[in-house]
Chain A
Amino acid sequence: MQKNSPSSQLMTLLPHLRDNLPVYATALVLALLAVPLGFQGGLPYALAAGLLAALSFFTVRQVLRQKEAAERRKELSDEQLLQSQKLAAIGELSAGIAHEINNPLAIIRQEAEWLLRLFNKDSPPDATETKTGLTEIVRQVDRAREITHNLLNFARRRQPVVQAVELNRIILDMTLLVEKTAPQSRLNLVKHLQPDLPLIASDGPLLRQVILNLLNNAIQAAGQDGTITVITRVADDGQVMVQVNDTGCGIPKEHLAQIFDPFFSTKPQGKGTGLGLAICHGIIERLGGEISVTSVLGQGSSFTIKLPQSLEQRGI
């Protein structure tokens, strides 16, 4: 391993040469120009041309350096912005966790204090009342446990495992699961799946999780007589697109921006942890895709996922 062998020196020089190509090209052209000028017009012209070459060499180099510095500064400020956004997100996240865990804790405390009071009386406590109290405590512990479990799954950023994925197949499987298990028998599920959809290099189980979450949300939003439409197609930019539409209640404009935030939920307390869409967002991002939402209040919502055909396209 000789670090200073001529070939390794050349290797380190090459990128430098490539990056500064405009500088050297300008200098070279002007220097070459100086030679015929020197023949034709004599020394002063050659000197003038040479001077010009040197001058433009330095100017171009200076400009490029400034451009580089500006880019570095921008990168830095982007990083800082991202960092502060991350910190804000962590703040929101902790507030959410605290809120979600505090609710069951409060109920557990209430019930436990009530039971203690019952037991402190002289007469033996009423059996049914004791049982109700204990059942509630167990229920609330389960609720808290579900929150922490979901959170762990959320935090455990599973590395995607890339396989050839047949997206239509995943959608057919997951809609079947939903159709067979949805409480409403009148569920109206329409599928428009592009038949020749290309295989994509992606993570099947993670995508199943996303599709299942979106379908579950759509069912809850659509209610009794609603319709859910699932569409797949190749977008104009070659990415593969999945759309889940429902004719449900819609999402108010002021909620749209927060919809993918962890713990953001409009469901009643204790129903849903507000992590479903946050998990979906995290997964799609890791798969190099995008997830977006549009909604009209009272008419329904539409979730769109765009996925690259291969992860390499996105440099993942």
Chain B
Amino acid sequence: MDNFKILIVDDENDFRETIIKRLRARKIDIEGADSGPKALEMLDAQDFDVIVLDVKMPGMDGIETLREIKLKKPLVEVIMLTGHASVESGIQGMQLGAFDYVMKPVALDDLMDKLRQANERRLIQLEYHK
């Protein structure tokens, strides 16, 4: 029933690979990217429905990546992942059109809930644009 495609963007390899492994075990279609530019590159090559994006990454950070993603594919929903970002960056992210903020460490069920809600939102917006 969860037939949507997820991209997780995080420079922490262990964290990213664990999430990928656990979600794939739940039959979720998910890919990973270790940086903002890599994520944007992948987004050019294929379609994703929901992106899970770490706020704090070296080089291009999550906020900058979010801005680029929304320019490229405005209908893709983005869930921001954060360890300890500032409230300002939280506000900035929401203003740039992020769907939600999730604090690390994240319970997988909570993340699944938010992924589903984000995808539902994407589908509703697709309907609007028809």
* Residue ranges of A at the interface with B (Cβ–Cβ < 8 Å): 150, 153, 158-159, 161-163, 173-174, 176-178, 180-182, 204-205, 208-209, 212-213, 215-216, 219, 276, 279
* A177/B101 in contact, CB under 8 A: yes
* A212/B99 in contact, CB under 8 A: no
Given contacts A153-B95, A177-B82, A205-B98, contact A215 B87 (CB under 8 A): yes
Given contacts A180-B84, A215-B87, contact A150 B99 (CB under 8 A): no
A208 contacts across to B, CB distance below 8 A: 94, 100-101
* Residue ranges of B at the interface with A (Cβ–Cβ < 8 Å): 82, 84-88, 90-91, 94-103, 117, 120-121, 124-125, 128
* A163/B117 in contact, CB under 8 A: yes
* A181/B100 in contact, CB under 8 A: no
- Smallest distance from the beta carbon of A158 to chain B beta carbons, Å? 7
* A161/B100 in contact, CB under 8 A: no
A176 to B102, CA, bound (A): 10
A209 contacts across to B, CB distance below 8 A: 91, 94-95
* B86/A181 in contact, CB under 8 A: yes
- Smallest distance from the beta carbon of B77 to chain A beta carbons, Å? 9
* A205/B97 in contact, CB under 8 A: yes
Given contacts A173-B101, A177-B101, contact A163 B90 (CB under 8 A): no
Most chain B Cβ neighbours within 10 Å, of A180, A219, A276? A180
B124 contacts across to A, CB distance below 8 A: 161-163
- Smallest distance from the beta carbon of A103 to chain B beta carbons, Å? 20
A213 to B117, CA, bound (A): 22
B88 contacts across to A, CB distance below 8 A: 216
- The listed residue (B87, B98, B121, B128) touching A181 by CB distance below 8 A is B87
* A279/B103 in contact, CB under 8 A: no
- The listed residue (B99, B103, B117, B128) touching A159 by CB distance below 8 A is B128
* B103/A176 in contact, CB under 8 A: yes
Interchain residue pairs with CB less than 8 A apart (16): A153-B95, A153-B96, A163-B121, A178-B87, A181-B85, A182-B87, A204-B117, A205-B94, A205-B100, A208-B94, A208-B100, A208-B101, A212-B90, A212-B94, A216-B88, A219-B87
A181 to B89, CA, bound (A): 10
* B128/A216 in contact, CB under 8 A: no
- The listed residue (B97, B117, B120) touching A158 by CB distance below 8 A is B97
B101 contacts across to A, CB distance below 8 A: 173-174, 177, 208
* B87/A216 in contact, CB under 8 A: yes
* A177/B125 in contact, CB under 8 A: no
A173 to B102, CA, bound (A): 8
A309 to B18, CA, bound (A): 39
Sort A-B residue pairs by CB-CB distance and give the 8 closest, nearest first.
A209-B94, A153-B95, A216-B87, A181-B87, A161-B124, A212-B91, A205-B99, A161-B121
A51 to B57, CA, bound (A): 88
- The listed residue (A177, A181, A204, A213) touching B99 by CB distance below 8 A is A204
- The listed residue (A163, A174, A182, A279) touching B120 by CB distance below 8 A is A163
Most chain A Cβ neighbours within 10 Å, of B94, B97, B120? B94
A104 to B124, CA, bound (A): 41
A182 nearest in chain B by CB position: B87
